Structure 1
């Protein structure tokens, strides 16, 4: 078993065993008296502080084959009463000129002092392929550490009948640490229909600009041996004086359309075999059920 698989499995197991196991009771946590937690001790904040959003763009590259990458995305979060919120995500991405478009919808409840719990559905549409995923999403806030996860059922459908459709389990998880209120470092793992990857990412919100702007960076390793890197900027719509850690816990969850696109690996670019299998005399290669092909006797 490769180091990538072992590390990814341990990371996802840690995120989901803690985040999903304790999110429902996280409101009972006793917070340490750190400055970022003082505002939560005597006041239960709403699930979403107000209508807010973010816009982001990044550039980079991926190996095997060597290709340029581009991503742009936006999110809008809206409070529903005090305890609930909804968010919509949109994204566009390109790998060596092959474009994909995505969207996601979150519905969640949250106590910004301790947890988020909800359901999220997302889809990415590329040339000849459509990847969809739906399942529970959870976050757990432990002082300067955040555990974030999204898992459930995913399916991909191809236009080419020779490329088999797939469906099954997916999971995306991150462990994030905030060395300061405006700096985030995260280690993440993803598994989508057997395609696995690990990522190291960072975000830093600049101060003194008069508007909320962050620099972002990410390095990702895929189980195929490919690597990708990205650098970009992210601008926030909302309270200009809010710290980065408060934006992540009081405003908008991650853009899951982007997460699907980045973690899909070669799913969105899969192609049928170069040659049709040789079935032997008296047999032909036919679709025995939707998306599944096999050698079957020739009917006369």
Structure 2
């Protein structure tokens, strides 16, 4: 738990620093046009249980071609709390590509999970094709498990203010598919509404339906497409809430339970 508090405090400090330095959100060909903070609220149902949470993401330019993104989230699914934090260091040409390294930490109930990986994206007009993958380690009750993880995602912008997205990913024996629609009602106001749904397609049968709202500070005239390519890069697999519930992150890292030995039948004297 101490690790989680340290990560969240560091994230809050970086977010405060960025909020002081927020610029006008003007587009440029830099990896990150200007410092920005995106906040999100989400609610819905996961496997029949009420689910909700909040998240924030800070994007900062490091050099003209290098940017850094820090993410944090607090969630609750069926009465069980969770925390997430991530760090993404990337190079990007907003007219062509994104490539970077990622670190993510998640805690759900008593389970901690750590991901070390890479992410790649190609910007092809109104289409974005992306992939991410790496190594995932985690454990509950002092047990540790290691597995690979990977995901692919395709986004299509019907308009700069209306995005559709589908992704498929998994780790170990768990697989999930997710779909999202995001809409920005007013062009020059960086507030968007979104809904996403998904289902597990292997190992366990789970479903999820979520709805939420996003707002980006520091980019007053940006559209959804501008935000994704010039500001705050989107995190693949979309939301930790969805991927955690659909792919059973908590169960994947629980230590195996040894079945109890069979008990002899009671002695009944005649």
TM class, shorter-chain normalised? 0.7 to 0.9
Q: 1:184 aligns with which of 153, 163, 167?
A: 163
Deviations 1:126-170 (A, max 9, x none): 2211011111111100000001221110012111x6xx5321110
Structure 2 portions without partners, runs of 5+: 1-26, 264-270
Q: Match for residue 234 of structure 2?
A: 254
- Structure 1 Cα separation of the partners of residues 256 and 227 of structure 2: 46
Deviations 1:55-74 (A, max 9, x none): 001100022xx211102100
Q: 1:72 aligns with which of 45, 54, 57?
A: 54
Q: Match for residue 118 of structure 1?
A: 100
Q: 1:204 aligns with which of 152, 159, 183?
A: 183
- Structure 1 Cα separation of the partners of residues 31 and 173 of structure 2: 34
Q: Between Structure 1 and Structure 2, whose CA radius of gyration is higher?
A: 1
Residue 250 of structure 1 deviates from its aligned partner by: 0.5
- Coordinate RMSD, CA, aligned: 2.3
Q: Match for residue 217 of structure 2?
A: 237
Residue 92 of structure 1 deviates from its aligned partner by: 1.1
Number of residues paired by the alignment?
232
Q: Match for residue 4 of structure 2?
A: none
Q: Match for residue 152 of structure 1?
A: 134
Q: How does 1:1-300 map to 2 (within 5 A)?
A: 45-63=29-47, 66-159=48-141, 165-207=144-186, 211-223=189-201, 224-255=204-235, 259-264=239-244, 265-269=247-251, 276-278=259-261
Distance of aligned partners of 1:49 and 1:267 in 2 relative to their CA distance in 1, 3 Å threshold: same
Residue 279 of structure 1 deviates from its aligned partner by: 9.2
- Contact kept, 8 Å, 1:102 with 1:124, in 2: the verdict is yes
- Contact kept, 8 Å, 2:169 with 2:237, in 1: the verdict is no
Distance of aligned partners of 1:140 and 1:256 in 2 relative to their CA distance in 1, 3 Å threshold: closer
Residue 259 of structure 1 deviates from its aligned partner by: 3.6
Distance of aligned partners of 1:105 and 1:256 in 2 relative to their CA distance in 1, 3 Å threshold: farther
- Structure 1 Cα separation of the partners of residues 140 and 109 of structure 2: 9
- Contact kept, 8 Å, 1:129 with 1:158, in 2: the verdict is yes
- Contact kept, 8 Å, 2:155 with 2:165, in 1: the verdict is yes
Residue 199 of structure 1 deviates from its aligned partner by: 0.7
- Structure 1 Cα separation of the partners of residues 29 and 83 of structure 2: 34
Deviations 1:31-61 (A, max 9, x none): xxxxxxxxx9xxx710000101200011000
Structure 1 portions without partners, runs of 5+: 1-39, 281-300
- Structure 2 Cα separation of the partners of residues 49 and 119 of structure 1: 20
Q: Match for residue 7 of structure 2?
A: none
What TM-score, normalized to structure 1?
Answer: 0.72
